A and B are shown apart, each in its own frame.
Chain A
Amino acid sequence: MNKRRFKEKLAYSFLITMISIIVLSICLMFYFIISRGIRVINWEFLTQMPRKAMTAGGIFPAILGTFYLTMGAICFALPLGVSAAIYLNEYAVQNRLVRIIRISINNLAGVPSVVFGLFGLAIFVKFLNFGVSILSGSLTLGILILPTIIRASEEALSAVPNSFREASLALGATKWQTIQKIVLPNSFSGILTGAILSIGRAAGETAPILFTAVTFYSMRLPKSIFSEVMTLPYHIYALMTEGTHPESQVPIAYGTALVLVFLVLGLNLIAVILRNQFRRSKKW
C-alpha cells in the first residue's frame, strides 16, 4: 500500500469516527431521555393537573402554558418581523441607516436569552405593569425570535426572482400590489418555515420567561393573558431544583423533557417537510 492510499484511508477512518461520535451522542441523549421519561408518559400525564405538590398527576398546565406563550410570541413577532423584512428587502434604500438596522437585528440574535428575560421584566412586567403574565412572557419571547423571523422572511422575499416584480410593475401594478399579490404569495412557505422553527425555539426557552411569565406551581389553569403560567422547560427546572421528593419528581422531569423534545422535534419536522415540499413545487 503506498503512502497516498494510506493517508486516504486514514482520513476516511478519522471522519467516520467523528461522525460516529456525533451520531452516538445523539442516540445516547435520546435513549437517556426516552428510557427515563417513557415510564411516566400516559394519557393522564398529558391531560391532568399535577397533584400532591407535583409528585404525582400530569403536566397539562405546563403544556398549555407553553402553547399559550409560543402562540402569543408568534402572534406578536410574525406581523412585526414580516413587516420589517418587507421594508428592508422591498422598500429600503440600502444606505447607512438600513445597514445599522440590519446589524442591530443580527446583534439581537446574539444576545443571551437571560438578558431578554431581564429586559422583559423591566419593560413589560414592571414599566408597562403587565405583571408576571402570559402577555409579558409572550412579548419577551416575541422579541427573542424576532431576528430569526426577520432573517427567514428576508431570505424568502429575496428568493423571489426580480423578473416577477418587473413583470408586475410593467403591467401597471403599484409596488404594494406587487408585494401583496406576487412577492408575498411566492415567499409564503419560506416565511412559514421560519415561523415554525421560531415557535420551536421559543417553546424550549426558559430564561426569557423566568422572570416574566412562569410560576412554579399553579392550582388552576390560566384565566387570562394576565395570568401566570406553568411551562414545560420551567417545569423541568422546578422539579429538579425544588421540592423534597426527588424519587417521584425526577421521573416526572424526564417525562416532561420527553414531551418537550418531541414537541420541538415535531415542529422542526413540519418545517423541514414544508420546505422540501416548497422546493419541489418551485420551478423557477
Chain B
Amino acid sequence: MVDEILQSKNDLKMQIRNLNFYYGTHQVLKNINLNIKSNAITAIIGPSGCGKTTFIRTLNRMNDIILGIKIEGDILFDHKNIYDDDIDVVDIRRKIGMVFQRPNPFPKSIFENIAYGLKINNLTVNKGELRERVEIALRGAALWEEVKDRLNTSALDLSGGQQQRLCIARALAVQPKVILFDEPCSALDPIATAKIEELIQELKEKYTIVIVTHNMQQAARASDFTAFLMLGELVEFDITEKIFTNPSQKITEDYITGRFG
C-alpha cells in the first residue's frame, strides 16, 4: 500500500537505501530502506535505544562529527546521494535542518539566534532584509507575537516551549527543504507540546518533515507515514493510519498498544 503511494519518484524528497550504520564495530542500523515523501510528515517510532536518533542524524550527516562511525548504503536527497564525495556537507546541513531533543538556543539574544544562520550562510544583503527574514522565521514558528517586543533579550530567558519554537525558527531561517525533529517535545509540558505539534502540521505545507517520537499518540495524530524501528531494523513502514489500525506485523501491534517499549 505504502509502495503504491510512494511510487511516484517525483514525490520523494529522500530515499534511504540499504543503510547500515556502525559505532565502531557495534552495528546500530541494519539494512534500512525507506522513502520520505515531499511535504509530508514521516514519523519514526520505536523503543529507546533502537537507533532512531542515529537514523535521523544520518539524514543530514550530523553523525559525521562522531569518531569511529561507519556508514554503508545510499541516502538520496533530491535524487542525489548525500554521502557522495563531491557533496558539500555544510550545504547539505543547511538544506536539511534539524531540531534537537533538548532546546538548544545559543546564549545570544532572540534576534541573534535567528540571524546567526542567515549571517554565516550569507543569505541576506543588508540590515533591513535581515530584520525582515528574522521576523518571517519567527512568524513561521508561531513565536513572533510572543517575542516581538523583546527581540534583544536573551533567548535563555524564554520558556522551554518557546526555546524549542525558537530553535524551529532558527532552522526555518536558513530556508531548508527538509526539517528533522528528534523527539522535539520530550522535554516539554503538554501545552507546549500541543503548540509544537500544531506548528509541525503547518510546516508540512512548505517543508518535508521527519520526526522521531516515542509518543504513540503524537505519531498517530500528527504524521502521514510511520516507520517502526526495532533493534536497528525497520520492522514496518506504512501510512500512519494503517500502522495504527491494522499493522501487518504482530510486533508492531504489540509496541503501539503499549505491550512493551
Instruction: Give A284 to B91 CA distance when docked, in angstroms.
Output: 29
Point out the residues of chain B lying under 8 angstroms from A173, CB to CB: 90, 116-117, 120-121
Contact of B62 among A161, A166, A181 (CB under 8 A): A166
Residue B102 CB within 8 A of the other chain: yes
Contact A283 B102 (CB under 8 A): no
- Chain A residues, Cβ within 8 Å of B171: 170-171
Given A163-B100, A170-B62, A171-B120: A182 and B93 within 8 A (CB)?
no
Residues 253-284 of A, flagged 1 when their CB comes within 8 A of B and 0 if not, give 00000000000000000000000000000111
Q: Report A-chain residues with C-beta under 8 Å of the C-beta of B95.
A: 172
Chain A proximity of B251: nearest CB distance (Å) = 32
Q: Shortest CB–CB separation between residue A134 and chain B, in angstroms?
A: 40
**CA of A283 to CA of B65, assembled, Å:** 26
Contact residue range for chain A?
A: 20 to 34
How far apart sit A166 and B62, CA to CA, in the bound complex (Å)?
8
Chain B: which residue is nearest A182 at the CB level? Answer: B106
When distances are taken between beta carbons in the complex, the residues of chain B under 8 Å from A282 are: 107
User: Does B37 sit at the interface, judged by CB under 8 A?
Assistant: no
Residues of A within 8 A of B12 (CB): none
For A165, the chain B residues whose CB sits under 8 A away are 65
- Is B48 interfacial (CB 8 A cutoff)? no
B75 at the interface (CB under 8 A from A): no
Would you call A171 and B67 a contact (CB within 8 A)?
Answer: no
Q: Contacts A167-B100, A167-B167, A170-B93 given: A94-B174 contact, CB under 8 Å?
A: no
| In-complex Cβ contact of A170 among B60, B67, B102, B107 (8 A) | B60
A164 with B106: CB separation less than 8 A = yes
- Whether A172 contacts B93 in the complex (CB less than 8 A), given A94-B67, A182-B106, A186-B107, comes out as yes
Contact between chains at B106 and A170 (CB < 8 Å)? no
A174 touches B (CB below 8 Å) = yes
How far is A171 from B174 in the complex, measured between Cα atoms in Å? 7
Cβ–Cβ contact B106 & A172, under 8 A: no
Residues of A within 8 A of B62 (CB): 166, 169-170
**Chain A residue, CB-CB nearest to B101:** A163
B6 in the interface, Cβ–Cβ < 8 Å? Answer: no
Tell me the nearest residue of chain B to A165, going by C-beta: B65
A172 near B100: Cβ-Cβ < 8 Å: no
B98 to A, closest residue via Cβ: A170
**Does B97 lie within 8 Å of A169, measured CB to CB?**
no
Most buried by A among B62, B102, B105, B116: B116
Give chain A nearest CB distance to B152 CB in angstroms.
16
B165 within 8 A of A: no
Chain A residues positioned under 8 Å from B151 (CB to CB): none
**When A181-B116, A284-B156 are in contact, do A167 and B65 touch as well, CB less than 8 Å?**
no
Are A93's CB and B67's CB within 8 A?
yes
* Residues of chain B contacted by A182 (CB below 8 angstroms): 106
B133 within 8 A of A: no
**Interface pair B107/A171, CB less than 8 Å apart:** no
Question: What is the chain B residue whose CB lies nearest that of A174?
Answer: B90
Q: A93-B67, A166-B62, A283-B156 are in contact. Are A171 and B100 (CB under 8 A)?
A: no
Residues of A with C-beta under 8 A to B159: none
Inter-chain CA distance A77–B224, complex, in Å, is 58
Q: Is A106 an interface residue (CB 8 A)?
A: no
B230: min CB distance to chain A, Å: 26
Contact of A171 among B65, B102, B117, B154 (CB under 8 A): B117
Q: Which B residues are in CB contact (< 8 Å) with A283?
A: 107, 154, 156
Q: Does B170 lie at the interface of the complex (its beta carbon under 8 Å from any beta carbon of A)?
A: yes
Asked if A177 is at the interface (CB within 8 A of a chain B CB), the reply is yes
User: Quick one: CB contact mask for B106-123 with A, threshold 8 Å, 1 for yes?
Assistant: 110000000011001100
A168 located at the interface, meaning its Cβ lies under 8 Å from any Cβ of chain B in the complex? yes
CB-based contact A171/B170 at 8 Å: yes
Is B94 an interface residue, CB under 8 A from the partner?
A: yes
Q: Does B104 contact A (CB under 8 A)?
A: yes
* Chain A interface (Cβ < 8 Å from any Cβ of B): 93-94, 161, 163-174, 177, 181-182, 186, 282-284
* Sample (26) of A-B pairs whose CB atoms are under 8 Å apart: A93-B67, A94-B67, A161-B104, A163-B100, A163-B102, A164-B104, A165-B65, A167-B104, A168-B116, A170-B62, A170-B93, A170-B97, A170-B98, A170-B100, A170-B171, A171-B93, A171-B94, A171-B121, A172-B90, A172-B91, A172-B93, A172-B95, A172-B121, A173-B120, A283-B154, A284-B107
Pairs A-B, 5 closest by C-beta atoms: A172-B94, A163-B104, A171-B117, A170-B98, A283-B156
